[in-house]
């Protein structure tokens, strides 16, 4: 299992979704700063040549609350594109990071 966690956490798909989630002002307001990573990651990242798909969840937390991030993305020659990055705080409504 550790290998799966390490693979997903080291992937470009994870790093892109993670960065978008923790730098969103609404997420920072809901969780507080600094935002820290959780350990468990679940889901999949599949990459073949210059294409791929990702669908995974991971926890983050701040001093005010904790949350789960759900990301879905696709990889093409231009890089990762996300169809969903949703942050669901434990004590609040979901935040769609892709919508202003």
Annotated domain spans of the chain: 2-96
The structure's pTM equals: 0.92
The 3-state DSSP class for residue 92 equals: coil
Looking at residues 34-49, what average pLDDT do you find?
92
Q: What is the pLDDT of residue 1?
A: 44
CB 38 within 8 A of CB 60: yes
Looking at residues 41-57, what average pLDDT do you find?
93
The overall average pLDDT reported for the chain is 93
Q: Which of 2-11, 37-46, 68-77 has the lowest mean pLDDT?
A: 2-11
Residue with tokens 């990889």: 75
Looking at residues 3-26, what average pLDDT do you find?
87
């Amino acid at each position: 299992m550790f290998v799966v966690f390490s693979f997903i956490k080291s992937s470009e798909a994870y790093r892109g979704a993670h960065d978008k989630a923790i730098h969103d002002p609404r997420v920072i307001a809901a969780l507080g700063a600094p935002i820290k990573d959780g350990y468990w990651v679940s889901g999949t990242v599949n990459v073949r040549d210059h294409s791929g798909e990702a669908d995974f969840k991971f926890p983050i937390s701040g001093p005010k609350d904790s949350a789960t991030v759900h990301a879905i993305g696709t990889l093409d020659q231009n890089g990762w594109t996300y169809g969903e990055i949703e942050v669901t705080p434990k004590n609040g409504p979901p935040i769609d990071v892709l919508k202003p």
